Amino acid sequence: MEKTEAFQTLMKNLNYFDRILNRYQSLPRWYGRDLLLYSSEADLLAAIGDGEPITATELARMKVSTPSAISQTVKKLDAKGLLIRDAQDGDRRTVSLRLSEAGRQVYQLHRQREADRYDAYMQELADYTPEDIARAAALVDFVTEKYLEEFRSLDM
């Protein structure tokens, strides 16, 4: 297989993966017996837990999302009692976000599920070296950066 054909196959596979990932992320999951979260909510909760305290503006930048979309998800998480909102420096418009105790429990469960899933993948990737995986990651990073450059040039 020539290089161009191999790259086209990679791009087809990435596009297919994107569709599968979007579908996977659209399905809610139970966190405990009475808490149902969508992937976007759990992922944002994880980002808050990883970076707390963090502002919605920082989250929007990190997640390549709009402040409005982040704000909507933050409101949902706050209504479920998963967040603590703190005004920064007496400015009520700038709010830092932290996990509540309930949010921390969901965060830990989410991270454990992710680790378990990745461990299962690693067992099936026994024939791949760390260098193989790093090269694949670098290739995905390259394609991602090219799409981000195009995205930024189209963003008006």
- pLDDT at residue 8, rounded to an integer: 96
Q: What is the pLDDT of residues 1-48, one digit of tens each?
A: 899 999 999 999 999 999 999 999 899 999 988 999 999 899 999 999
44 token code pair: 């944002």
Q: What is the pLDDT of residues 111-155, one digit of tens each?
A: 999 999 999 999 999 999 999 999 999 999 999 999 989 988 886
pLDDT of 91 strictly over 80: no
Which residues are within 8 A (CB) of 34 and not within 5 positions of it... i.e. 6 or more apart?
none
Task: Give the residue, 112 or 92, on which the prediction is more confident.
Answer: 112
Q: What is the pLDDT of residues 54-82, one digit of tens each?
A: 999 899 998 878 889 999 999 999 999 99
- pLDDT at residue 90, rounded to an integer: 67
- With b meaning 16 or more CB within 10 Å and e meaning fewer, what string describes 74-96? bebbbebebbbeeeeeeeeeebb
**DSSP SS3 for 98:** strand
135 token code pair: 């090269």
Burial class for 124, CB neighbours closer than 10 Å (0-12, 13-18, 19+): exposed
- pLDDT at residue 33, rounded to an integer: 85
pLDDT of 156 strictly over 60: no
Q: Residues 63, 82: contact at Cβ < 8 Å?
A: no
pLDDT of 94 strictly over 90: no
Single-letter amino acid code for the residue at 1: M
Distance (Å, whole) CA 65 – CA 49:
18
Burial class for 12, CB neighbours closer than 10 Å (0-12, 13-18, 19+): exposed
